[in-house]
Structure 1
Amino acid sequence: MKWTGLNELREKFLEFFESKGCLRLPSFSLVPKDDNSLLLINSGMAPMKKYFTGEVTPPRKRVTTCQKCIRTPDIERVGITARHGTFFEMLGNFSFGDYFKHEATAWAWEFFTKVLEMPPEKLYVSIYEDDDEAFDIWTKEVGVDPSHMVRLGKEDNFWEHGSGPCGPCSEIYFDRGDEKGCGRPDCHVGCECDRFVEVWNLVFTQFESDGKGNYTPLEHPNIDTGMGLERLACVMQGVDNLFLVDTIQNIMKHISQITGVEYGRDEKSDVSLRVITDHIRSTTFMIGDGVLPSNEGKGYVLRRLLRRAARHGRLLGYNEPFLYKVCDTVIKENLTAYPELKEKQEFITKVIKVEEESFAKTIDQGFKMLNGIMDNEDVNVLSGEDAFKLNDTYGFPIDLTKEILSEKGIKVDVERFRELMKEQKKRSRDARKNAGADAWISDTTDLSDVANTEFVGYTDLKSTSKVLAIVKDGVRVDSIGEGENAIIVLNKTPFYGEGGGQVGDTGVMESGSFSADVDNTTKNPSGTIYLHACTVKSGSINVGAEVSTAVDEERRADITRNHTAAHLLQSALREVLGNHVQQAGQLVSDDYFRFDFTHFEALTAKELIEVQDLVNKKILEAIPVTTQEMPIEEAKKLGAMALFGEKYGDVVRVVSAGDFSVEFCGGTHVKNTANLGLFRIRQEGSVAAGVRRIEALTGMGVLKYINGMSAVIMDVCSLLKIANPKAVVEGVQKAEQIIKEQQREINELNSKLAVAQIGQLFAGTTEEHGVRVVTGKVDKVNADILRTMCEKARDFAPKCVCVLATENDGKVTFAAACGKEALALGANAGKIVKAVAQKVGGNGGGKPDMAMAGAKQPEKIEEALDSVKETVYAMLK
């Protein structure tokens, strides 16, 4: 058995199954497409589920892939053991109703024993205990020694997840020898020791389960095999774990070179090296597939991995951002299989560096807070409030906080943390659900017998079509009548179905007395059937009827202008800001369009004007806009930009505005840039870390915007009594100056009045335990005046502890101050004001001699002030 590198193993596998008639598909994106059941792709078959269910027709009945995968349930274990990892590649060969057990077993054995030259005596095969067919095939046809066959139960060798396709499986194990075993005489396949390693799992999907223990044979059984590439490499390279595999070891060596820490010298530092190595592989590939750091979903997983890796860098004694440097090695080691990483290298590096730098700004303060908690022997549970502060202020993901504190046996009040996060977000988590066709069709609606829709809307805005299906309330019906809402499926349509960020078309559908408004147009998950969400105005319609359709031409024209403008905007942004700019999402409607793009800081006024002027310049140049379909490789040679993280077929549609903008796109566009008329940026802002958003207008939308702004300016001129609009800025500045002067005078008067009240506050107070405690509620003053009053009281009486409160618009502000002699006796303004504020649902703190706090329960102010003496006396020496 010859030592073989990981990249060579991948190629050998794919070439072998190509020779068996399998179509080699590139790895699907780590981001699931049209599958809300997964956060990230976690197995080789996951992106092909719809091929197995028959919902989508596969490009060929025989397929082979090497699929990128991310699994996150064991993140906390990564590094602590050498077995766990979050990123891995899964080799697979699949049959969608084509070859079955005979071929799958024979080819697996051939690949192992002939291609990789594994000794047959080192291989063992497990089967489901009742699968006699598999036993006979393995022993009588393939030639496996019966003594190397193992029967295992349903838990080990039967693939099943609730109801649906399922079946027995066979697993191939490699015997690593006695020296890797546990030493027990009965050590065999299935033992928990490290001797027998499961390398390949062949799943024979031959039954349909109803989820209640009843199994019906499938008419066309399938094959689904999966083999971890890294695990196979461990066997072929004779190493104990994935971190010693050649390509992964090269990544770790780069980390060791940067940090000056060698692997294998110390178990504690080995843990950190493994964490960083695994996480930088995961994050490089995730960003390459379009995932960006955020506080939820896929972005949260990415942020958690990056920040966990950054923390382990510090545990190695390296306090500077460095992960972005290591991603270069990740890309280099995976270049042969994933050349797209090289194309996106600059962007991937930038995202990682920005996230590292962002975390580095607050990490020391966060660790200071955490260390203080861990050093306090009385703390065994971190409050939800403190966990929230670590997340919100210092950027510590809750899982990282939990992991760090668990090392000291401290738990976290996660439930309270979640409540605070919900309060902060205050936004619907069901925003993805649109109010169009999705509201009227169910995921279980069966349209498998309905022919694909022919889209004619690129050239025609009207058509005569046949009704193929009607869906009302998620159920197929034969007809609908006046006043009803339903989905109508046609054999052909001029209506653009929502996709690529472009909204769906609206219009009308008619036939005799039947008339319906088309309120929206979407597509089924595979994008092959167009779903027209209709409201029937009059008459009725049956399946099989002929209808005349017409798109709302004016609305389509507005949408089309905005879509072409989005293309021009992306090119302009890349020219002004740099080639790191990539589309990160868009919405193209008739009113306006928004364009999300990768960039790491707000655009300056100069940059916005430069981008806007460049787009308008291209509009004035009247550049013809062309669309053509071509092989994807030819499109790439033209420099066509693809949507970040998106996968395309062999033939793509390319939209070009001369050499300025060339993009893959299935949307509708104008014939000439001059058709846009005008372009105007309405707004620019942040969407997430490293992602900006521009909202913009074209055509009449720009004129409406300018007219609206002009009306506002004229109203301001009228209020300021200015005749010339050009003088409006000067007029506002003068008004602002007058207001500032008046506010200054008001503050001075309030301050004098407040100081005059100090004597009244002291009246009736006495000195106890060596200090004089002064409290009171002051009406209608701001925080600065309240602070001034406390400072005056402190300076007036060295033995004084003064705590004052005020309320403004339902918000409570506390100020506390301690004189020099009171400080010497142990009084502390920061601790006092925090304790008082917590009684009113707030928090705060500050220095021992002066501190401030805020709260939200004004009705409890008196109660809180009454507690001050008790708090003060408790801390005196």
Structure 2
Amino acid sequence: MNSADIREGFLRFFEGHDHLRLPSAPLLSPDRTLLFTAAGMVPLKQYYLGEVTPPSPRMTSDQKCIRTNDIERVGRTARHHTFFEMLGNFSIGDYFKDDAIAMALEFSTKVLGLPADRIWVTIYKEDLQTADIWQKVGIPRERIVPMGADDNFWTMGPVGPCGPCSELYIDRGVRHPGDEKQQMGDDGDRFLEYWNLVFTQFDRQSDGSLKPLARKNIDTGLGLERMTSIIEDTDTDFETDGFQPIIQTVADLSHQEYGRDPRVTARMKTIADHVRACTFLMAENLLPSNEKQGYVLRRLLRRSQALGRMIGIEGAFMGKVADTVIDLMKGPFPELLAEGERIKRDMAVEEQRFDHTLRDGLVEFTKAVEVVRQGGSDTLPGKTAFYLHDTMGFPVELTADLLRDAGIKLDREGFDALLNGQRHGGSESSGVEDVSRERTGYIKLRGTVGTSHFVGYESLSAEAVVTGVLKDGEPAGSAQVGDHIGLVLSSTSFYGEKGGQVGDTGIITTPGARFEVTDTKTPVEGLIIHEGVLVEGAIAAGDTARAEVDPERRKAIARAHTATHLLQAALRSIDPTVQQKGSKVMPDEFHFDFSFRGSLDADDRKAMEEKVMGFIMANVPVRTDVMPIEEARRTGALAFFGEKYGETVRVVAADGISKELCGGTHVTATGDIGFLHIRSIRSIGTDTKRIEASVGLGALREFWAYQEGVEQTAGILGCGPVPAEVMRAVQDLTDVVKEHDRRIEGLIAAATDRHVRDLIAQPATIKGQPVVVATFEDLTTEALRSAGDMAEQQLGNGVFIGMVAGGDGFSVVKVFGTAGATFSARAIFKTLTDKYGGKGGGNDRMCQGRIASLPTAEELEALLG
């Protein structure tokens, strides 16, 4: 039995127990509280929270997972991975502990063939019911081990669903010296956990109390890599059939043998793990960048590249490793094969980008280690690691890896302090916790005020009942004139902001009140909150109401939303790999973010506008169909990673142009859009572009504004109000200004020349070397460098320190001649920035950057003395 047999055997076993087999969800999690899908239950969270009805109360899956909290341990331990497969079976309000335990033991012994007398289990120490069930199915009490909450109590967050766990272990016997003394719970691999059963039975309240859930759930996770190691009887996961072909490719590229040198072996494992993870991430169109998921991908790629260099691999190599990953995993994950060529191409681009940085960083790292050793220390200072990270672009993770090999510690606390200072103390984790807490609060609110039936696709008005009045986000009995409140209705025609489309505005009236809706939100599925001001009367829960959406604004939003679909179709005609990364759809304007390598110039903008205008003038019908998501995908409808879709979806199609899964509102024909104008195309991150555009009346108003601007400019220039004449007049004026600037620069250069000569004539003397310290008014950065060159020509030996007054304090420090034996430009620059503030870089002969202030010659002598 190999990894493929285990994977398929698990899924078939639970299908045989009436579980619906689910496809793996994307690694890029649509959940705002997570960067990646890190467990099998993550894609099912909406079912556990009651947001969406599951397609079946019993489900099973083989879920692709990414975990990044232990990246630095990968390759150094037997079982830490970045990417892994989690097999799971799930019950939403169906079976509970008895059946979950019985099925887990049956699969372990009957399908996997594990000896029942070597299976041990842990339970939460207060969950004696689970202990009794394990005894009933045949596990003796002495092999049932109670554990504390840290090990055996699962929570989704500070509040919300939670419950005890029970973990299954296999006793692998005495395999290594010392195994005979090992106990359950000890470090070591004799007792190896392979399956976790989570019994979600409580709802943790804000005061910490546990309220029993009305519907109890089951969530389990069995790691495929670990179970394969158990079945194939290998010391680590890396010797299994799921890893060995990848590792062998790495070994062949390095011309070294796996298992001979422990350090080389650890690096081979890490490269195999990381490239496997990167291959799966890039199959979902993720590109390396400097933020969020893209940053993690870049970190894994660059770490792999550096480790490859350290074991002797030269040139681009990750594409070859990815080839093996694709060949090995294409069966259960055919998307790898479909995206294979693009994955390898994007990997090669990133390798090329990092190559120069890697080589320079290794040189600087070697120098830094030598300084530490010469100083008799065993620790690299945090500020040195930060310099490598911030100035050289050398990731701190690589620094830490290399230091371990050199037998030197890293002052990680010092590095983190500098990094946090640079980030102004920002904390992503606290934000994630806030989002999780907020979401849980909205789910509870929905349980109190109820859901709203959305009728806004068919009608812009709705008759309803007020089911909730909210003040500061909390239910209130009623509201009075002037109150800023939220209203929840039994039915509504108002679209709540989601999927990038802004919320509707309009009016809600009751027999005794008038409420102006300024925004509409959908914080969780089914909960639509109308925010605004009560302008007349009083309103209370139970009142009958009429909801009326502002029709012109809704039409303007629909024009913009359909236009994003047409624009995406135009973009994909240029590059079929383009993927939407986000959007904001507003009345008659939108932002559209997308993945794109390379540049887009004015000609590309015009070509896209022309393409979209062709779609608009074709005036083809825009049709919306509702169908199961799998049927939608079979029809070729675009669905994007990072978006959250239910089992039933809306497919919006402009005949022959585009077809996308979309829950937004749209026009009925492309001609309704009228006109599109792309305002700008700009980069918002590595390989990510943003298009800002206007449509319909918004585009017309922008055209009027441009026309008015041309007319006003023509009036100032005294020419005709047409672009050609304005351009000619501007060019004539520019030529005059350039001539004046040339003359002014000549006068400044002459004055600077005299100023520098005067300073050189009477330099200060520090440690026997002539030193010129000066601040210059109205000097360009290039002219300041020239002043340093002039000082070198006149003095021959010495130091020049110059600053441009005003602006950002651009400064140059230059050391020349025999002064280089006494002074270092790098050391002087650092001394000045440490005292006065600033930032820059360079070498021992010359540094430049920003210094907040310069000392007098006397003060400088004291600083350098």
TM-score by length of 2: 0.90
Report what 1:705 is aligned to. 702
Deviates more, 1:293-302 or 1:747-756: 293-302
Q: Which residue in the other structure is 1:372 paired with? A: 367
1:293 counterpart SS class: coil
Deviation at 1:414, TM superposition (A): 2.6
- The verdict on how the C-alpha distance between 1:178 and 1:756 changes in structure 2, with shifts beyond 3 A counting, is closer
1:450-849 equivalences under 5 Å are 450-525=449-524, 527-576=525-574, 578-723=575-720, 724-764=722-762, 771-799=769-797, 801-809=799-807, 811-816=809-814, 818=816, 820=817, 826=822, 831-832=827-828, 835-836=831-832, 838-844=834-840
Count of residues paired in the alignment: 855
> Which position in structure 2 is the counterpart of 1:866?
858
Segments of 5+ residues of structure 1 without an aligned counterpart are: none
Q: Do 2:591 and 2:693's aligned partners in 1 also have CA atoms closer than 8 Å?
A: yes
What corresponds to 2:147 in structure 1?
Answer: 153
Contact 1:288 1:645 in 2 (8 A): no
Counterpart position of 2:93: 97
Tell me which residue corresponds to 1:268: 263
Q: Give the 3 Å change call, closer, same or farther, for CA 432–732 of structure 1 in structure 2.
A: farther
Distance 1:113 1:429, change over 3 A: closer
Q: CA RMSD in A?
A: 3.5
2:59 equivalent to 1:63: yes
Given the superposition, is the C-alpha separation of residues 848 and 122 from structure 1 closer, same or farther in structure 2, using an over 3 Å criterion? closer
Rounded to whole Å, the distance in 1 between the matches of 2:739 and 2:433 is: 50
Residue 439 of structure 1, CA deviation: 11
1:315 Cα shift? 1.1
Helix, strand or coil at the partner of 1:280: helix
- Assess, with a 3 A threshold, how the Cα gap between structure 1 residues 260 and 645 changes in structure 2: closer, same or farther: farther
Whether the 8 Å contact between 1:359 and 1:394 is mirrored in structure 2 is no
Matching of residues 249-260 of structure 1 within 5 Å: 249-260=244-255
Q: How far, CA to CA, are the matches of 2:149 and 2:802 in structure 1?
A: 68
Structure 2 vs 1, CA of residues 582 and 766 (structure 1 numbering), >3 Å: closer, same or farther? closer
* Displacement after TM superposition at 1:209 (Å): 6.0
Q: Say if 1:95 and 1:223, in contact at 8 Å, map to a contact too.
A: yes
Does the aligned pair in 2 maintain the 1:761–1:774 contact within 8 Å? yes
Partner of 1:98, secondary structure, is coil
Aligned pairs for 1:410-449 (under 5 A) are: 410-412=410-412, 413-422=414-423, 443=442, 445-449=444-448
The alpha carbon displacement at 1:200 in A equals 1.8
| Alpha carbons 1:482, 1:536 under 8 Å: kept | yes
Relative to 1, partners in 2 of residues 1:182 and 1:588: Cα closer, same or farther, differing over 3 Å? same
C-alpha separation in 2, matches of 1:765 and 1:687: 48
Task: Using the TM superposition, give the Cα deviation of residue 230 of structure 1 relative to its aligned residue in structure 2, in angstroms.
Answer: 1.0
Measured in 1, the distance between the counterparts of 2:663 and 2:355 equals: 42
Please identify, of 602-611 and 587-596, the stretch whose mean Cα deviation from structure 2 is larger.
602-611
- Pair 497,241 (structure 1): closer, same or farther in 2 beyond 3 Å: same
Q: Find the aligned partners of 1:440 and 1:199 in 2 and give their Cα distance.
A: 32
| TM-fit CA distance, 1:775 | 3.9
TM superposition shift of 1:685: 0.8
1-side partners of 2:89 and 2:489: how far apart?
37
Q: Distance in 2 between matches of 1:243 and 1:383?
A: 34
The one of 102, 110, 113 aligned to 1:114: 110
Contact 1:813 1:855 survives alignment (8 Å):
yes
**What is the one-letter code of the residue matched to 2:445?**
D
Mark the CA change 1:79 to 1:331 in structure 2 (over 3 Å): closer, same or farther: same
Map residues 389-400 of structure 1 onto 2, 5 A cutoff.
389-400=387-398
Question: Which deviations, in whole Å up to 9, do the C-alpha atoms of 1:320-348 show, x marking residues without a partner?
Answer: 23324433433343333333444444554
TM-score (norm 1): 0.89
Contact 2:774–2:803 under 8 Å retained in 1: yes
Deviation, 1:617, is 1.0
SS of residue paired to 1:359: helix
> 1:801–1:700: structure 2 CA closer, same or farther, 3 Å change rule?
same
- Asked if 1 retains the 8 angstrom alpha-carbon contact of 2:55 and 2:647, the reply is no
Are residues 1:77 and 2:78 paired?
no
Instruction: Please show how residues 53-452 of structure 1 align to structure 2 within 5 Å.
Output: 53-54=49-50, 56-128=52-124, 133-140=129-136, 142-144=137-139, 146=140, 149-154=143-148, 158-161=152-155, 166-180=162-176, 182-184=178-180, 187-206=182-201, 220-289=215-284, 291-377=286-372, 378=375, 387-405=385-403, 408-412=408-412, 413-422=414-423, 443=442, 445-452=444-451
What are the Cα deviations for residues 445-482 of structure 1, in whole angstroms up to 9, with x where unaligned? 52215543222211211222222222221221232221
Worse-matched range after superposition: 478-487 or 783-792:
783-792
Greater CA drift, 483-492 or 628-637: 628-637
* CA separation of 1:794 and 1:547: change in aligned 2, threshold 3 A: same
What amino acid maps onto 2:39 in structure 1? S
TM-superposition CA deviations, 1:237-289 (whole Å, max 9, x none): 22222112212222223333444343223212111111111112222333445
In structure 2, the CA distance between the partners of 1:742 and 1:228, relative to structure 1 (3 Å rule), is same
Q: Quick one: distance in 2 between partners of 1:692 and 1:579?
A: 15
Residues of 1 paired with 2:198 and 2:425: CA distance? 46
Residue 374 of structure 1: how far off its partner (Å): 1.5
Greater mean deviation of Cα atoms: 244-253 or 608-617: 244-253
Cα distance in 2 between the residues matched to 1:442 and 1:138: 36
What is the rounded CA distance, in whole Å, between the counterparts of 2:6 and 2:760 in structure 1? 84
- Structure 1 residues 588, 392: CA separation in 2 closer, same or farther (over 3 Å shift)? farther
CA distance in 2, matches of 1:570, 1:291: 17
Task: Specify the code of the residue in structure 1 equivalent to 2:409.
Answer: G
